[in-house]
Amino acid sequence: MKFGVIIFPGSNCDEDMIYVLESKMQQKVERLWHKERDLKNCDFIILPGGFSYGDYLRSGAIARFSPIMEKVMEHAAKGGFVFGVCNGFQILCEAGLLPGALLHNSNQKFICKNVYLRAQTNQSLLTANIDLNKPLKIPIAHGEGRFYAGENLLKELNSNNQILFRYCGEDGKISEEANPNGSLENIAGICNSGKNIFGMMPHPERAADAELGNTDGRILFESIVGLVNA
């Protein structure tokens, strides 16, 4: 099992992700520069957070045309695992690997704070080991994270168990007040219908080290590592 973290010009959460995977999860990690056309035999590809291409045009719109994305598409089409966090999620939506789009937060602000979310299904690699009733405290840091999908798509996401996380309060209640950015149905993370491509706006890699005072995000990585390496 080898992880590949893609580095785009403007990625800035790549090192946090690599640190968690290497130092906290004891995994092998390759750094993959976006201009390469080789995934170096990585089994699990991660698109980290940041501001690829300065968020020009729309967040993630230009990064999807980076040379390595062609290989990521091939990997995903063969059922390979791909996980996008924050800007990585935006890139996956722009690339059409995940459905829907991420719009400007409804309050027009860049929001950087801890929020709570609850996993909505155990039927995905990312959430398989998570207690569905437990609110996880995980930070968000984005200006464009308002998940949007058309009515039919939203129905499909719900009925196929493709909604992975919803924003909730500290008490676990999924409510309007607990929705930080105006996302439809409080959606914080989704997966594709094949359940091999995942995207979420919150940053689990920023909540996986006891030294940082929050380890609620660890369970996602434990879920990935435990099931993939099993």
Residues near other proteins (CB under 8 A):
57-58, 61-62, 65, 94, 100-101, 103-108, 148-150, 182
CA distances from 40 to 1, 5, 8, 63 (A): 12, 11, 17, 20
Specify whether 177 is catalytic: no
When the beta carbons of 19 and 148 are compared against other proteins, the nearer one is: 148
When the beta carbons of 98 and 125 are compared against other proteins, the nearer one is: 98
Give min distance, CB of 47 to other proteins, in A.
17
Mapping DSSP onto H, E and C, the string for the chain reads CEEEEEECCCECCHHHHHHHHHHHCCCEEEEEECCCCCCCCCCEEEECCECHHHHCCCCCCCHHHCHHHHHHHHHHHCCCEEEEECHHHHHHHHCCCCCCEEECCCCCCCEEEEEEEEECCCCCCCCCCCCCCCCEEEEEEECCCEEECCHHHHHHHHHCCCEEEEEECCCCCCCHHHCCCCCHHHEEEEECCCCCEEEECCCHHHCCEHHHCECCCHHHHHHHHHHHHC
Give min distance, CB of 110 to other proteins, in A.
12
Give min distance, CB of 108 to other proteins, in A.
4
Give min distance, CB of 6 to other proteins, in A.
19
Write down the catalytic residue from 86, 93, 168, 191: 86
For tokens 């940053």, the residue is 203
Specify whether 13 is catalytic: no
Give min distance, CB of 102 to other proteins, in A.
9
Specify whether 86 is catalytic: yes
When the beta carbons of 79 and 150 are compared against other proteins, the nearer one is: 150
Distance CA 131, CA 127 (A): 9
Q: Catalytic positions, please? A: 86, 203, 205
